[in-house]
Amino acid sequence: MKSGVKLYRKPRLKDPYLIAAWPGMGNVALKTARYLQEKTNAQEMGEIPYYTIQVENPRSSQVVLEKLTEMLGIHIDLTELERQAENNEKGITKYIHKIKEQLREEQEFEKEDKGPGYLH
């Protein structure tokens, strides 16, 4: 399965800065990033698909930042992002178990003999 991440180039940088922006209320972040790009003559390195930001997903942010830091040869402390990703995944797992349990209960209810006159 393709990730949808597009990298345009591997930059050669000295004292790099990363500007990242995602759409939101009034596209303020995108407009600000575009403004900074124009004022600093910065170049885009890549993009990620829009669907990746529809749900809070710190793990995807972590993976993108890990790859970027590897490419740039820099270090970013991702400890807090890792903690958020683990908490997010625990919540998702808990939710999945809850849905499975509800489904199992519904299936058990459907199997029960409800007696004469009950319509399925």
Give Cα 2 to chain centroid, integer Å.
15
Handedness of CA 4, 57, 65, 46 (dihedral sign): positive
| Residue 56: inside a domain | yes
pLDDT band at 61 (very low <50, low <70, confident <90, very high): confident
Residue 118 lies in a domain: no
What number is the average pLDDT over the span 82-99? 89
- Provide the number of structural domains found in the chain: 1
Given a cut of 60, is residue 120 above it in pLDDT?
no
Look at residue 1 and tell me if it is in a domain. no
Tell me, yes or no, whether 41 lies in a domain.
Answer: yes
The pLDDT of residue 1 is 44
What confidence tens digit (pLDDT) does each residue in 4-57 have? 677 787 777 777 777 777 766 677 878 888 888 888 888 887 777 766 666 677
Q: Of the candidates 32, 67, 31, 35, which has an alpha carbon nearest to the alpha carbon of residue 48?
A: 67
Does some domain include residue 116?
no
CB 21 within 8 A of CB 33: yes
For residue 16, the enclosing domain spans 6-111
Q: Which residues contact 8 (CB under 8 A, 6 or more apart)?
A: 44, 45, 46
SS3 of 55, please? coil
Q: Return all residues near 45 (Cβ < 8 A) that are at least 6 apart.
A: 7, 8, 9, 11, 68
